[in-house]
Chain A
Amino acid sequence: MKPMPSILKVLNWLTGAVFAVALYLVFFYAPREAVMGEVQRVFYFHVAAGWVGALAFLITAIAGGIVLARGDHRWDRVALVSVEIGVVFTLINIVSGAIWARPIWNTWWTWDPRLTTATIMELIYIAYLMLRQGIEDPDRRARFGAVYGIVGFISVPLTFLSIRIFRTIHPVVIGNNDPTAEGTFDMTPKMQTAFFFSLITFTFVYATLLWHRLRLQDFKEYIEERKMQALNT
């Protein structure tokens, strides 16, 4: 077992510290939203988790492209690990959104474009993991994973676009606002600080998890190799 690199140790502590600050900002620093009340605080980590999900799947598509172009298997590990993290964070995004939607929209769930797209994206990447499970040959697994990671990533914006043609009620907090959206609000400067800090925090969490999971994958493959050696002698 290789010892943990010192940069990773620093990153661990840094992520922990940044996360503590983010919690403080979200729960104490950011003001209470006038109409929605305390439940609005879900928003900070809800958007951050969604951002990490999308980032993770983008990294998977890019890593897949590199695997296909160069045949480099280290990037296949990045693709797999990134999907695992992305699936978890997309689930956090969906569940936290439902918790917010219950008091604000008076329902846990509605077939809004963003909600539907997030769910379909989650299903695509669960299918990605199932595809990989069914293939033993590591080279083929890497290629198929890369192909599906790219195909899936391209279909997500199309899904969003096609559902968007219906009317949406999901609030758009950044950028142009749709007057039909329900539960929207304008961010005060303090809220903006908490919001952007949450985004940065979750990006740190993503990077740390990615690194740890990559190391774990290394160990896993090392053990598998030793097992094969032991069986062959």
Chain B
Amino acid sequence: MTSAESMVIEQTGRFGQLRNYLRAVGAVVWKDLRAEYRSRELLGSMLVFAMLVILIFNFALELDIRTRETVASGVLWVTFAFAGTLGLNRSMGVEKDRGCLDGLLLAPVDRSAIYFGKMLGNLIFMTIVEAIVLPTFSVLYNLNLINPGLILVVILGSIGYSAVGTLLSSMAVQARTRDILLPILLFPVSIPLLLAAVKASNGFLQSFEMTEIMPWLNILLVYDVIFIAVAFMLFDFVVEE
């Protein structure tokens, strides 16, 4: 690959190549974080949206004390999935709108570095939203959601969601029906992930035995590994001009 070769100008050797690759990934992440810090467009809308979803669930499901514990994990994951879609659409949308994606693609780095940069950026935004939603949810419904097991599930779930989401959103923004297309593409493919995340979160919240939770954690892990690998291999074809 020529783009990978030209990158080696700075440092050679296997270790140097890896460092250059990681530096490229970091540069993309840093760009996204700095743009967000200056514009404050994405996180604000994701957070308000997440709060609104929780509010609607409150009325729709009549979250009283008895049902609260059993449905909390479902409500949480629907909220994360919806807010995540919003963020994914926006983060690829800005790249497409102002021709930034072309600029990124011209950079002499491996295309997959751009994918991992965008994916990590999306993951960070999702994690920030989750880090705010979880304590708020705990306070509003008097449930303790700050539980190491649950946090592990949330992280594993978000990794898989942003891995698939970044790949699919970079396709969706290039289509005519961009904004409505992403959820239609993403939800059916991410069902195993969401299902396993809901079940595992529920297990931790109701303190089930680890043997009951393990199969769900395994599915989460398998999903993450498979789809990061698939997206890594396929991203090149999505951004090709």
Chain A residues at the B interface, C-beta cutoff of 8 Å: 68, 120, 123-124, 127, 130-131, 133-136, 140, 143-144, 146-148, 150-152, 154-155, 158-159, 161-163, 165
Contact = CB atoms under 8 A, between A and B. Distances in A.
A147 B237 contact: yes
Contacts of A144: 171, 174-175, 238
Contacts of A123: 188
B185 A131 contact: yes
A151 B230 contact: yes
* Chain B: interface size category: 20 to 34
Given A143-B238, A151-B234, 17 more contacts: A68-B237, A124-B188, A124-B189, A130-B177, A131-B171, A131-B181, A131-B185, A144-B174, A151-B168, A151-B230, A155-B189, A155-B190, A158-B222, A161-B219, A162-B216, A163-B195, A165-B215
A71 to B, nearest CB: 10
Interface of B: 164, 167-168, 171-172, 174-178, 181, 184-185, 188-192, 195-196, 199, 215-216, 219, 222-223, 226-227, 230, 234, 237-238, 240
B164 A151 contact: yes
B192 A161 contact: yes
Given A146-B237, A151-B164, A135 B174 contact: yes
A76 to B, nearest CB: 12
A131 B188 CA distance: 13
Nearest to B190: A155
Contacts of B227: 151, 154
A155 B231 CA distance: 13
Nearest to B234: A147
9 contacts: A123-B188, A131-B181, A147-B171, A152-B189, A154-B227, A154-B230, A155-B188, A155-B189, A158-B219
